[in-house]
Amino acid sequence: MKNYYKIPLLLCILILISDSNYAQEKYLLSSSKILLEVSRDTALAQVGTLEKTGNNDGEVEKYQKAVGLKRGDAYCAAGQYWCFLVSADALGLNHNEIPIKRTGVANLMFNDAKQRGSKTSYKATMHDLLVWRKRNTNSGHIERIINAGKAGWVLTVGFNTGSGKPGSACDGVYLRKRNILHPLGRMAVRGLIGFNIK
């Protein structure tokens, strides 16, 4: 009789733990429509950019430099910022109009959006930034959504990632199919950074 009570109790505990640790959120930051559109085109134009030796070097160093990183540093967030930066320059916009934080750390970018942005429903739209986090750390990953599909599936541009083919290395910029509810390796989805058109 005692075992009948243990199983439902364990299930309830697991549900509560998973809900509290993996509750995804979305925050909106203000941005001009033209900057979002041009930065999206810039991100797409970077697809196929590869590292020189597979050690976060070569052409990808321009992303690192944009946020003050050095060669060899991870550049997933730096690449996203770089797309806004060069797009703002091309449009003659002040760098203050770039909506996201200048950082090479995906979860610092998310923290900033959480602090400055407005919370909204957790639903993916084009231009959103999808952020993952390794538990109890600031380590993570970030990718730009360029097309939102059904059941949480999205198409992204990811920097410092791989092609997704078996055995592929994280050696450049690729289009990836992701889900806004699914973990990425050992990283859980933290949430989305979205944008309000101003």
CA distance 177 to 37: 20
Q: Which residues touch 167 (CB under 8 Å, ≥6 apart)?
A: none
CA distance 60 to 148: 26
Q: pTM for this structure?
A: 0.89
Greatest Cα pair distance, the chain, in angstroms, is: 73
Q: Which residues touch 30 (CB under 8 Å, ≥6 apart)?
A: 99, 195, 196, 197, 198
CA distance 111 to 109: 6
List the pLDDT tens digit at each of the 198 positions of the chain.
Answer: 455 555 544 444 444 344 344 589 999 999 999 999 999 999 999 999 999 999 999 999 999 999 999 999 999 999 999 999 999 999 999 999 999 999 999 999 999 999 999 999 999 999 999 999 999 999 999 999 999 999 999 999 999 999 999 888 899 999 999 999 999 999 999 999 999 998
Residue ranges and CATH numbers for the domains of the chain are: 24-197 (3.90.1720)
